[in-house]
Structure 1
Amino acid sequence: MDKSQFTPLQWLEHWAETTPNKVFLHQPVNRVVQTHTWAEVQDKVENIAASLHQLGFVKGDKIAILAKNCAEWLITDLAIMRAGMISVPIYPSANADTIQYVLEHSESKAVFVGKLDKWQDADVGVKGTVIRLSMGYETMPCQYDWNKLQTLAKDHAPLEKYIPELDDTISIIYTSGSTGNPKGAIISYRAFNWANQEIVNLLKMTDKDRMLSYLPLAHITERCFVEGVAYHANTTLYFTESLEFFVEDLQYAKPTAFFSVPRLWSLFQKNIIDKIGNNKLNILLSIPLVSSLIKRKIQKGLGLQHARLLASGSAPISPSILHWYNKIGLNICEAWGMTENCIYAIGCFPFEEKLIGTIGRVLPGCEVKTTAEDELLFKSGGLFDGYYKNEEATKEAFTEDGFFKTGDLAKIDPDSGAITIIGRVKDNFKTAKGKFVSPVPIEKVFAQDPHIELLCLLGSGMAAPVALVQLSEGAAALPKEQVAASLKENLLAVNNQLESHEKIGAVVVVAEPWTPENDVLTPTLKIKRHVLHKQFAERVEELKGQQVLWESELN
């Protein structure tokens, strides 16, 4: 059989037979690394799958996973497949309302519960008859613990061999809900396998590669780029014990491929500059012999000295950050993808400095085009089957010729093929002047101010657009007058490039950091513009005159 058609279960069987003693998973627990070979993983998967049947669950049932990344997450995912059931991952940072919504909407019969930062908060969301299955970490009360699930079916006949059909559903993955309740994207084995194999081919992943799994496995990026790739390529995976030990665990893993989000790349940059000093760093990098030593020292300090592949996704990253990393010898490839296309779509692979500022070119096996209104349309073998229990949204999501409507506005360069995201269909707004404003391009320019951590432009029905700004950690510690002067200078410079109806009327520095916990950010750290509009619109709708204010100064 063509291995590219293998499901994760067949890969598990293949590696357990051909490389049974290879350590597949490294999990630190209380600073001691626990390892799991392919043979051990297969054994646990068989036991847990049998236990699920012993508990009365049947093929086709939905089983949720609510946990931070860990070795047990992958073992659980494989066990759900082995039992012929469908996984429903839930973000470990999700609030109780979201947890309850996903469990109820997906009709999940049980939920595996693992590491959570605040399990007491999540506990309220797991209601009704949903059975709780512990993954072996200190967490909310559960009916069955991890060890029990290894032995529950030991006295019963083993499960019959099961190979899913490629058109069967492997998972229902709920989107992060930046515009309302999350929608459950139905992902087939066929789409999942296709995307994973394409990623392996594109990035030339092999059994010599190592990756650190720390971005939420509930998100499609980690699910395909890390978990799925590991099944196809026999890649070794490492996990981090907690945020406290993230850098230490990254240095231990020494990944050869490392994917991250803009906020972490920005934080790494800040820590390096704080430690060395920007002027000093620039001087050292300008000295040929010293430059290579400094670059190696920085890369080793991050644990990225062996990384042949670096990438950023989930949200736009400032071109200035990518240029900065390029200067220290770390080339970060920006990529674009969605839950609905199993994340394999568009990217700057391999890295090309001239593509900085774009999301790259369409990847092999994929097709893109734009509508007359600039909406990006997409087609590939990795497309989802539709939204669970939402026929109307599914029908609206596709064109008559089978292209998925991404909701992103884009420009495709006819010469280079490079694609630039210029906004979101639903983000564009009309100010009181009656003309449409596309906020994303304005935000990308304004956000290059080093004092800014996050930025959101509001304006629907307002006198003029207003930029809400969350200061970076370093800027928050600086004198207010210094920060205000820099923001004002940036505001004037940006406004000089804009049409009159687009000009920013004011900058407002917010008081409270934006987080998933206070519902301003999605679990993948995208800003919920509609939430901020609801919080701020009435207080800022009349602001104009190119002011810079702090939230405490608003009426």
Structure 2
Amino acid sequence: MMYKWEEEKGNEVFLSQPINSIWHDWTWEEVMLEVRKMAAYIKSLNLEKKSKIAILSKNCAHWIMSDLAIMMSGHISVPLYPNLSAKILNKILIHSETKLMFVGKLDDFEKMKSGIPSDVNCVTYPFYSQNYPKWNDLIRDVFPLQENVIRDDNELVTIIYTSGTTGDPKGVMHKFYNFSFATTNAVNALPLKDESFFSYLPLSHIAERLLIEMGSIYCGGKVSFAESLDTFAQNLSYSQPSVFLGVPRIWTKFQQGILAKLPQKKLNILLSIPIISSLIKKKIQKGLGLSKARNVFTGAAPTPAALIRWFESLGIIIQEAYAMTENTCYSHVSFREKIKIGSVGQALPLCDVKLSEQNEIMIKHDALMDGYYKDEEKTNDTIQNGWLYTGDEGEIDSEGFLKITGRVKDIFKTSKGKYVAPSPIELKLSANKNIEQVCIVGTEIPQPIALVVLSDRGREKTKEDLISSLEKTLEVVNPKLEKHEKIHNIIVVKEEWTIENNLLTPTMKIKRNAIEKIYRINYEEWYDSSKRIVFFRNNL
């Protein structure tokens, strides 16, 4: 498809990126010239055929260019999260047998640098140059690769190391056919054509890679990037994409931002006045950067139904989706005209789904992973008789809508011997706008307790108002739960769970095991407390 757009849309902008607040554009023709030159340079290195080449960078135009150059030069990409510790970076580079690495836009490369083995050569991107040979210098006098290289469908295109919510990352192997199958069928099913995309979630993650990079290539679209967390809102508002992918934490931040400027009571009044309502919705949509968005997705973790309904009241229709690295991000999606809030949608075309006897979701289609790199045992545990065991627990209704009810491995046993699935309870608690993050725990105590991190709104409340709000939430939520699921008390922890302190994955899912390690020593003391709301001043 790249060759098609190079010829047909050569002068149209493909990649657009703000650098020091100035937007830089690359047309399809310009991108392909860079890609062809870098592919030729890589070939000149005479690496062993199908060598592993890593990409260590935040999202930027050259991330996509380097990925395409790796494909054209006949090698295999190993995309890496841009915030890995030196220890994990070293493990992955050694395990994958990486020979060359592109190093680009990073916040704290000095802390990671020691993890790079001495035999791994590095190339650095323009604009974000580390102390390595620079992209522009290397390709300046290189004659671009003229051939329109077509790789075999069954060749390995990438090894994607999962973000690892439970232990060390595993290398998921995908061939070119998998990318082609998943992208072609998803683009046709949604459908997507000449779209504009906004890229900010890690391109090293399968969702961003397939939807943004592959999606834009297959539909001839445009990709705009966020420069930083500080400029995210401004960059998104400027870009006004037609396709946007968020995660629950982003939607919560959007909501908090809106309510900080327009309190809920005032918003309700304005939305009740027909003419004013329309103006307010348009203003909010444009301010967020979603005024042109036709497909607005959420995924990576469950999004509270109350939050989806709240955005629906503003004319922003959020479509839940569900997939994973191991099935090439091809499983379920909520089609805009067929949404059932509380579900993650219906299976995409040519995707079979069923539940095991334990209600574990099982997926089968032609683009399942080739396996975990160098780990046949885990591969055989995960794929059995052609079915991918996802590790997620679910329900399927008569219309084929899938509801995620938890993670099979997240289920814990209380001291009463009762099993509790935390995810559905966490979703119910998340309806309280004073709560930013929540983790239900309860191993070795009689009843579950809720660990919560406050939202910005919650932090501004007086202690008395906050206690009242959280107690009311318990009174609303507990009657909806089974006896053994009822929350004993809520523990308000001071420190936020972040990617930086290793309590969130790069896609902003909580790392339960890591959280448990920190707080588990306090469970019995908290449970024995006479207070329903306990404030814990921890220092992580």
Q: Which category describes the TM-score, using the shorter chain as reference length?
A: over 0.9
Letter in 1 for 2:350: G
Contact 2:422–2:440, Cα closer than 8 Å, also in 1? yes
Letter in 2 for 1:362: A
1:185-196 paired onto structure 2 within 5 Å? 185-196=172-183
Structure 1 residues 492 and 543, CA, compared in 2 at 3 Å: closer, same or farther? farther
Aligned equivalent of 1:319 = 305
Aligned equivalent of 2:537 = 552
3-state SS, counterpart of residue 365 of structure 1: coil
Q: 1:145: how far off?
A: 0.7
Aligned: 1:205 with 2:192 = yes
Q: 1:496: how far off?
A: 2.4
Q: 1:501: how far off?
A: 2.3
Aligned equivalent of 1:41 = 31
C-alpha distance in 2, partners of 1:285/1:486?
Answer: 25
Q: 1:287: how far off?
A: 0.6
Aligned equivalent of 1:396 = 381
Q: 1:153: how far off?
A: 4.0
Pick aligned residue for 1:257 from 228, 243, 268: 243
Contact 1:464–1:542, Cα closer than 8 Å, also in 2? no
Q: 1:158: how far off?
A: 4.8
Q: 1:152: how far off?
A: 6.0
Pick aligned residue for 1:504 from 476, 479, 487: 487
Deviates more, 1:114-123 or 1:144-153: 144-153
TM-score of the two chains, using structure 2 as the length reference: 0.96
Q: 1:79: how far off?
A: 0.3
Aligned equivalent of 2:93 = 103
Aligned equivalent of 1:356 = 341
Letter in 1 for 2:268: N
Pick aligned residue for 1:276 from 243, 257, 262: 262
Aligned: 1:23 with 2:13 = yes
Aligned: 1:382 with 2:367 = yes
Aligned equivalent of 1:494 = 477
C-alpha distance in 1, partners of 2:173/2:23?
Answer: 35
Aligned: 1:145 with 2:128 = no
For structure 1, the residue ranges without an aligned partner over 5 or more in a row are 1-10
Contact 1:463–1:543, Cα closer than 8 Å, also in 2? no
For structure 2, the residue ranges without an aligned partner over 5 or more in a row are none
Q: 1:180: how far off?
A: 0.4
**Across the two proteins, how many residue pairs are aligned to each other?**
537
Letter in 2 for 1:549: V
Contact 1:95–1:517, Cα closer than 8 Å, also in 2? no
C-alpha distance in 2, partners of 1:175/1:263?
Answer: 20
Structure 1 residues 399 and 286, CA, compared in 2 at 3 Å: closer, same or farther? same
C-alpha distance in 2, partners of 1:285/1:425?
Answer: 41
C-alpha distance in 1, partners of 2:355/2:101?
Answer: 40
3-state SS, counterpart of residue 395 of structure 1: helix
3-state SS, counterpart of residue 124 of structure 1: helix
Aligned equivalent of 1:422 = 405
Aligned equivalent of 1:4 = none
Contact 1:367–1:379, Cα closer than 8 Å, also in 2? yes
Contact 2:494–2:538, Cα closer than 8 Å, also in 1? no
Q: 1:390: how far off?
A: 0.4
Contact 2:3–2:148, Cα closer than 8 Å, also in 1? no
Aligned equivalent of 1:453 = 436
Q: 1:128: how far off?
A: 2.5
- Measured against aligned partners, the alpha-carbon deviations of 1:244-276 in whole angstroms (never above 9, x if no partner) come to 221222122111111111111111111111111
Aligned equivalent of 1:90 = 80
TM-score of the two chains, using structure 1 as the length reference: 0.94
Pick aligned residue for 2:103 from 113, 121, 124: 113
Aligned equivalent of 1:524 = 507
Contact 1:462–1:542, Cα closer than 8 Å, also in 2? no
Q: 1:417: how far off?
A: 1.6
Pick aligned residue for 2:394 from 398, 410, 416: 410
Letter in 1 for 2:478: N
Letter in 1 for 2:234: E
3-state SS, counterpart of residue 541 of structure 1: helix
Q: 1:503: how far off?
A: 2.2
Letter in 2 for 1:27: Q
Contact 2:433–2:457, Cα closer than 8 Å, also in 1? no
Letter in 2 for 1:456: C
1:217-228 paired onto structure 2 within 5 Å? 217-228=203-214
- Measured against aligned partners, the alpha-carbon deviations of 1:223-257 in whole angstroms (never above 9, x if no partner) come to 11111011111101111222222122212211111
- Measured against aligned partners, the alpha-carbon deviations of 1:438-485 in whole angstroms (never above 9, x if no partner) come to 111111112211111110011122232121101101101211221122
Structure 1 residues 161 and 493, CA, compared in 2 at 3 Å: closer, same or farther? closer
Aligned equivalent of 2:273 = 287
Deviates more, 1:281-290 or 1:461-470: 461-470
Contact 1:50–1:159, Cα closer than 8 Å, also in 2? no
- Measured against aligned partners, the alpha-carbon deviations of 1:286-341 in whole angstroms (never above 9, x if no partner) come to 01111111111111111211111111111111111110111111101011110111
Aligned equivalent of 1:334 = 320
Deviates more, 1:78-87 or 1:51-60: 51-60
- Measured against aligned partners, the alpha-carbon deviations of 1:466-515 in whole angstroms (never above 9, x if no partner) come to 21101101101211221122112212332223333222222111121101
Structure 1 residues 19 and 158, CA, compared in 2 at 3 Å: closer, same or farther? closer
Contact 1:27–1:240, Cα closer than 8 Å, also in 2? yes
C-alpha distance in 2, partners of 1:451/1:293?
Answer: 28
C-alpha distance in 1, partners of 2:146/2:91?
Answer: 32
Deviates more, 1:495-504 or 1:217-226: 495-504
Aligned equivalent of 2:457 = 474
Contact 1:505–1:546, Cα closer than 8 Å, also in 2? no
Structure 1 residues 313 and 553, CA, compared in 2 at 3 Å: closer, same or farther? closer
Pick aligned residue for 2:57 from 67, 82, 85: 67
- Measured against aligned partners, the alpha-carbon deviations of 1:84-132 in whole angstroms (never above 9, x if no partner) come to 0100001112222221221111111111011112222222322321111
Structure 1 residues 542 and 30, CA, compared in 2 at 3 Å: closer, same or farther? closer
3-state SS, counterpart of residue 132 of structure 1: strand
Aligned: 1:248 with 2:234 = yes
C-alpha distance in 2, partners of 1:494/1:181?
Answer: 35
Deviates more, 1:93-102 or 1:274-283: 93-102
C-alpha distance in 2, partners of 1:534/1:70?
Answer: 35
Pick aligned residue for 1:168 from 129, 149, 155: 155
Letter in 2 for 1:100: N
Pick aligned residue for 1:54 from 31, 39, 44: 44
Letter in 2 for 1:52: I
3-state SS, counterpart of residue 485 of structure 2: coil
3-state SS, counterpart of residue 525 of structure 1: coil
